[in-house]
């Protein structure tokens, strides 16, 4: 199976700087997206460090070793590279006063044959678009999601909550971080979407699906998603990565978590 990639970031309509960052290594089948947070310029430092570090380290490992590596090996490499990126950002934040408190969300995808390894930290998301149906395949690490899980609020109420941007897990804010990773099957024609909350907070899943349904061109779809988020207000930076799976694939369970 082969994979086509497209990525795009946009500052949105309300902010001058862009704290979202994306990186793609097509040869390695790797896509990374991060949404930074922190003081002046610190968020874009954190997100840029995360995407550059993971693309370099994990991309190199995947190119050199993935042909003989099991999915468990790849998952372990993802864990190690993210932990190393976390430590680099944490150390930078603690050694430079202007970067104090910086951190970033993270979502990354490793495409292998007919399988996808998706890892995430925070509230940047991963979706799979298959046969006209959009499915969110990550679950936000956020206070809002915890409130939904506890039955304190409904998903409908969550759309209007003031707690939208409070994440419970982020890269670089503590000396260690846990990457949540799941394995998913891929079929020919599937489209994987990685996005920051600048997209998912501005337009609904139905609107995202409508854009993806409207074109087979990834560049056009990515531009359409960014335009829709800006048309809805563009209150935050917007980042999208689209991956299209093409060719022969095997079927299997839709997803299951790795066990430690």
pLDDT at 249 over 70: no
pLDDT value of position 161: 66
Burial (Cβ within 10 Å: 0-12, 13-18, ≥19) of residue 90: buried
Going by pLDDT thresholds of 50, 70 and 90, the confidence category of residue 146 is confident
The answer to whether the pTM exceeds 0.85 is yes
How far apart (Å, rounded) are the C-alpha atoms in residues 157 and 155?
5
CA 259 to chain centre: 21
CA–CA–CA angle 196, 30, 242 (5° rounding): 45
- Spell out the residues 6+ positions from residue 246 whose beta carbon is closer than 8 angstroms to its own: 1, 2, 3, 4, 188, 189
Mean pLDDT for the chain overall: 91
CA–CA–CA angle 78, 7, 166 (5° rounding): 65
Q: Are 19 and 37 in contact (CB under 8 A)?
A: yes
């Amino acid at each position: 199976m082969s994979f086509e990639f497209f990525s795009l970031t946009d500052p949105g309509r309300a902010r001058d700087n862009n704290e979202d960052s994306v990186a793609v290594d097509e040869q390695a089948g790797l896509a990374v997206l991060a949404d930074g947070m922190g003081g002046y310029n610190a968020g874009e430092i954190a997100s840029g460090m995360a995407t550059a570090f993971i693309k370099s380290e994990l991309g190199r490992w995947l190119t050199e070793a993935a042909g003989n590596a099991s999915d468990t090996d790849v998952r372990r490499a993802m864990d190690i590279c993210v932990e190393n990126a976390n430590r680099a950002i944490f150390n930078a934040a603690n050694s430079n006063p202007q970067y104090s408190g910086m951190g970033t969300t993270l979502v990354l995808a490793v495409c292998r044959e007919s399988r996808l390894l998706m890892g995430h930290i925070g509230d940047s998301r991963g979706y799979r678009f298959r046969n006209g149906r959009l499915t969110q395949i990550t679950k936000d690490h956020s206070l809002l999601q915890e409130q939904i899980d506890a039955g304190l609020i409904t998903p409908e109420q969550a759309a209007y909550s003031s707690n939208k941007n409070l994440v419970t897990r982020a890269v670089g804010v503590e000396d260690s971080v846990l990457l949540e990773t799941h394995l998913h099957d891929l079929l020919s024609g599937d489209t994987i979407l990685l996005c920051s909350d600048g997209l998912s907070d501005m337009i609904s899943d139905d609107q995202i699906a409508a854009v993806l349904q409207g074109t087979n061109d990834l560049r056009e779809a990515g531009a359409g998603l960014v335009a829709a988020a800006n048309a809805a207000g563009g209150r935050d930076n917007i980042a999208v990565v689209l991956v299209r799976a093409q060719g022969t694939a095997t079927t299997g369970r839709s997803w299951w978590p790795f066990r430690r």
